[in-house]
Amino acid sequence: MTYQPSPGRYAYMEYRRCGHSGLKLPALSLGLWHNFGRQDDYEKCRDIMHTAFDCGITHFDLANNYGPPPGAAEETFGKILKDDFKAYRDEMIISSKAGYPMWPGPYGDFGSKKYLVASLDQSLKRMGLDYVDIFYHHRPDPETPLEESMTALHQLVQQGKALYVGVSSYSPEQTKEAYKVLNSLGTPLLIHQPKYSLMVRTPEQGLLDTIEKLNIGCITFSSLAQGLLTDRYLHGIPEDSRAASGRGNGAIDTNVITDELISKIQRLNTLAEGRGQTLAQMSLAWVLKDKRVTSVIIGASKPEQVLDSAQSLRNYNFSEDELRQIDEILG
């Protein structure tokens, strides 16, 4: 049966303007990092995307190396796009990235113009697209001049292969420099994608202030700490969890899931229950409370997780006492 989106899909999602641009992003975006590879069930992948779009989630976040194996997530996404979403392409924001190892040899990693241009060409073929809406440099390159990486992003916009560009995991100083170079070329730096959660506060050390000052959007990843900030780990490591799977490429190290950490998660869960939320909902709400955050990327291995995450938008206001309790628990 041909997929028919919910007629009310835009009624309940919040859309936030992305920096100083004409683009709005949904407060929640769907990331296709680890659950859209070749070993994942195709019909379940379809159900997850259908559910997300029906909730008003219009932004789908990918990268060249997502899978496993690398490239597989873009292949899966491209097939679903062709099968179910072809008529809705103009209602979707599709992003990809390059910056991590993708193919052998000296040209398949980091930030050279050779790598970034070739990578996006490959991504477009895998997804069956003429362009992506946002293309990111996935991480800083310590050896390639930043001017070269930013010029490559500018070139891809000029060629019509990307509408907007962004960076991920850049420091505040690197972000300022990227902004300066792109601005001089006439291509705005639209957005920054940092890792940010209750457990990882690094962006508070200057990055959030920088993007606010420069009018750059912010979309966070790993805001549920790869599942730690959900009810999955309240009683230890479940057998079917990402941590137990050992899938690599960023999977949770079981050594960090100590009794002390589980105790903290349990206390956070109690606080969330007092707010009438699940732990995942409260954790997403905590990130969304900051107006400098444009969107939060969620991952999902089943449609029900998307529906649960969407409920976080019902309440992202926190009292001073709740914020104090959270800091005490995690301190």
Domain at 146, CATH number: 3.20.20.100
Any domain includes 73: yes
Residue with tokens 């979403």: 85
| Segment holding 137, helix H or strand E | strand 132-137
CA distances from 46 to 32, 79, 226, 259 (A): 12, 10, 21, 37
| CA-CA-CA-CA dihedral for 250, 256, 262, 265, to nearest 10 | -50
Burial of 315 (0-12, 13-18, 19+ CB in 10 A): middle
> What was the pLDDT predicted at 48?
98
pLDDT for res 236: 76
Give me the pLDDT at residue 243, please.
59
User: d(Cα 254, Cα 325) in Å, to the nearest integer?
Assistant: 26
Does the residue 3 lie in any domain?
no
Residue 38 CB coordination number (10 Å):
13
Conformation bin of residue 253: beta by default, left when phi > 0, alpha when psi is -120 to 50: beta
Looking at residue 246, what is its pLDDT?
Answer: 58
Per-residue pLDDT of the chain (331 residues; tens, 9 = 90+): 589 999 999 999 999 999 999 999 999 999 999 999 999 999 999 999 999 999 999 999 999 999 999 999 999 999 999 999 999 999 999 999 999 999 999 999 999 999 999 999 999 999 999 999 999 999 999 999 999 999 999 999 999 999 999 999 999 999 999 999 999 999 999 999 999 999 999 999 999 999 999 999 999 999 999 999 999 888 877 765 555 555 555 567 777 889 999 999 999 999 999 999 999 999 999 999 999 999 999 999 999 999 999 999 999 999 999 999 999 999 8
Strand partners, 25: 16
DSSP for 232-253, please give it: GGTTS--TTSHHHHT--SSPPP
**Which amino acid is present at 125?**
K
* Helix (H) / strand (E) containing 157: helix 146-158
- The pTM (predicted TM-score) of the whole model is 0.95
Assigned token pair, 163:
């509408």
- CA-CA distances (angstroms) from residue 275 to 268, 271, 279, 286, 309? 11, 7, 10, 12, 15
Domain membership of residue 88 (yes or no) is yes
The residues with which 168 forms a beta bridge, in sequence order, are 193
Return the pLDDT at 252: 73
CA distance 44 to 37: 12
**Domain annotation covers residue 276:** yes
What pLDDT is attached to residue 235? 82
Q: What is the pLDDT of residue 209?
A: 98
Q: Report residue 184 CA to chain centroid gap.
A: 27
Is residue 198 within 8 Å of 225, Cβ to Cβ?
yes
Q: What local confidence, expressed as pLDDT, does residue 254 receive? A: 73
Domain annotation covers residue 318 = yes
Helix (H) or strand (E) holding 183: helix 172-185
Query: Residue 268's pLDDT is what?
Result: 98
Query: Judging by beta carbons within 10 Å of its beta carbon (0-12, 13-18, 19+), is residue 319 exposed, middle or buried?
Result: exposed
Give me the number of domains the chain comprises: 1
Helix (H) or strand (E) holding 303: helix 303-310
The answer as to whether 4 is a domain residue is no
The reply to whether 10 falls in a domain is no
Domain that holds residue 320: 15-330
Q: Does residue 2 lie in a domain region?
A: no
Task: Write the single-letter amino acid at 43.
Answer: E
